Amino acid sequence: MEIPFTKLHGNGNDFVLIDEYEKTVIPDDMKAQFAALYCNRRFGIGADGILFLSKSTTCDIRMRIFQPDESEAEMCGNGVRCLAKYAFDAGYVKESCTVETLAGEISAALAYADDDFIATISMPTPKFRRTDIPATGDGEYRERIGEFDVYAANTGVPHAVILVDAVDSVDIAAAAPLIRHHASFKNGANVNFVQKTGDDSLRIRTFERGVEEETLSCGTGATASAGVVRHIGIMGDTIHVETQGGPLTIHFADGTKMEGPAVTVYTGLITY
């Protein structure tokens, strides 16, 4: 038996995509275990998550994403761009499409500039009010956790956003798990350390829930981080975010949108 797959990445946030557009390839009750096995970078293919692409009854296509710890994530901005690129290249969608996710419908505008693929996708509007975080002088979305002031922002998945002078000065492997598992985030959170680098630019590093380590890029984290700095009045409606793996641009003037690349790395076959 053979299972075709495609490896893609968005700024180094990498995924294995399984095409289930015509038929189910991995039974639903095995998808989580499949992700744990094939996300492993030593004994599997290696990825931050497994994308399953299928037809949708409400949108053009549907995305499900399972993570290395066998959890299913509600949404993934870099994953949506990768899924949309694959679907566009396969002829399943045209230059604009909609994607069904657990966090709701995502619209996408797709284009090639020379050989580079760029997608601009709608993102869930950041939500800052968190009733499970005690109110402080800055509202319920801000709390002191350990040595850090932590802002909460949900962009389809929960995020913690911490403003620091220099992201490289933070021991993320040591600092992030305390925040990721803090009781105020009842479902856990991705943790973003954010450095202002200009009047409209940020640099971020993200520790991802489900992957349980730092990843090279996180689209929902970039959106959450940009949303927080805009919300507290530091920046305006267009914010350039430099992740460890490359740039993303977050727009707020007409809804919330994220612009960034997606790259096909290779295709292969799993044989068993």
At 215-246, the pLDDT tens digits run: 999 999 999 999 999 999 999 999 999 999 99
Q: Are 15 and 82 in contact (CB under 8 A)?
A: yes
Share of residues in the chain with pLDDT > 70 (%): 96
Q: At the topology level of CATH, where does 2-123+259-271 sit?
A: Diaminopimelate Epimerase; Chain A, domain 1 (3.10.310)
Q: Judge whether residue 253 has pLDDT over 90.
A: yes
State the pLDDT at residue 130: 54
Classify 105 as helix, strand or coil. strand
The rounded distance, in Å, linking the Cα atoms of 46 and 19 is 17
Task: Give the pLDDT band of residue 201 (cuts 50, 70, 90).
Answer: very high
> Angle between the 77-90 and 219-231 helix axes, to the nearest 10 degrees?
130
Distance of CA 190 to the CA centre of its chain: 10
At 160-171, the pLDDT tens digits run: 999 999 999 999
Q: Judge whether residue 77 has pLDDT over 60.
A: yes
- Residue 74 tokens, joined: 């509600």
Active site residues: 76, 218
At 107-132, the pLDDT tens digits run: 999 999 999 999 999 999 999 865 44
The rounded distance, in Å, linking the Cα atoms of 161 and 228 is 7
pTM of the model as a whole: 0.92
**Same topology between domain 2-123+259-271 and domain 142-253:** yes
Q: Are 248 and 226 in contact (CB under 8 A)?
A: no
Q: What is the mean pLDDT of the chain?
A: 94
Classify 31 as helix, strand or coil. helix
What residue spans define the domains of the chain? 2-123+259-271, 142-253
Pairwise pLDDT comparison (6 vs 129), residue with the higher score: 6
State the pLDDT at residue 128: 86
Q: Are 190 and 160 in contact (CB under 8 A)?
A: yes
Half-sphere exposure of 126 (CA within 13 A, CB side): 28
State the pLDDT at residue 134: 45
Superfamily designation of domain 142-253: Diaminopimelate Epimerase; Chain A, domain 1 (3.10.310.10)
At 23-49, the pLDDT tens digits run: 999 999 999 999 999 999 999 999 999
State the pLDDT at residue 138: 46
State the pLDDT at residue 131: 47
Burial class (CB in 10 A: 0-12, 13-18, 19+), 229: buried
State the pLDDT at residue 129: 60
Which of 187-213 are b and which e, b meaning 16 or more Cβ less than 10 Å from the residue's Cβ? Answer: ebbbbbbbbeeeebbbbbbbbbbbbee
State the pLDDT at residue 184: 85
Q: Are 190 and 208 in contact (CB under 8 A)?
A: yes
The rounded distance, in Å, linking the Cα atoms of 29 and 34 is 10
The rounded distance, in Å, linking the Cα atoms of 137 and 53 is 44
Q: Judge whether residue 194 has pLDDT over 60.
A: yes
Task: Give the pLDDT band of residue 186 (cuts 50, 70, 90).
Answer: confident
Cβ atoms within 10 Å, residue 253: 9
